[in-house]
Structure 1
Amino acid sequence: MKEHFSYDQRLGISIPNLEMEWANYSEETQQAILFHWEKIRGSIPDRIADLEKIINQKQSQLSLESNFKISCELNSEIAELASIINDLWLWYRANQTVSEKMHN
């Protein structure tokens, strides 16, 4: 499946990287891609939960931090983690129709 997915370092998951139109893949390949994506998609909520824990830790640090520069850095890190979570939810929801095809 490596040829159909690429690991996104920022998101921490593999995402589809299809080189052809979906209809040009054999039915067997389509099913294999869908099955692999469903496994990845199923891991997204856990990945989000892990990132939320990190955000909570950083927010706790932020509430105790008196150094302005460090506070700004923590805020920036929190914002980046929140952005990653948002992108993960987009992948999770946008590809829900793909997962539904697998069950039909």
Structure 2
Amino acid sequence: MEEHFSFDQRLGISLPNLKSDWEDYSLETQQAVLLQWEKIRGSIPDRIADLEKFINQKQAELSNEGSFLRSCQLNSEISELASIINDLWIWYRADQTISPKVHQ
């Protein structure tokens, strides 16, 4: 299954990386890909929870920070973590358009 997924360093999860059109894969391969994706997709809320902990830590640090430059850096880090969370939610909620084709 690893040939159908690639690890996204920024998001911290593997994402589908299909080299051919979905219809070109055998039914068995489609089902295996969907099963693997559901496992990955199921881990996304835990990944988000971990990132939210980092955001909370950085916000706590920010509230006690006296240096303007460090405050800007912390805000930038918080913003990047929030962007990652947003992208993870997009992947989590991605329309399962290929699922019905497998069940036909």
TM-score by length of 2: 0.93
Match for residue 19 of structure 1?
Answer: 19
Name the CA distance, whole Å, in 1 between partners of 2:82 and 2:99.
27
Aligned residues: 103
Partner of 2:55: 55
Q: How does 1:1-104 map to 2 (within 5 A)?
A: 1-95=1-95, 97=96, 101=100, 104=103
Question: How many angstroms does 1:99 deviate by?
Answer: 8.1
SS in structure 1 of the partner of residue 7 of structure 2: strand
Cα RMSD for the two superposed structures: 1.7
User: What stretches of structure 1 of length at least 5 have no aligned partner?
Assistant: none
Q: C-alpha distance in 2, partners of 1:86/1:52?
A: 11
Instruction: Report % sequence identity.
Output: 69
TM-score (norm 1): 0.93
Q: Retained in 1: the 8 A contact 2:5–2:14? A: yes
Structure 2 unmatched ranges of 5 or more: none
- Greater helix share, 1 or 2? 1
Q: Deviations over 1:20-42 (max 9, x none)?
A: 11011000000000000000000
Query: 2:97 & 2:73 partners in 1: Cα distance?
Result: 38
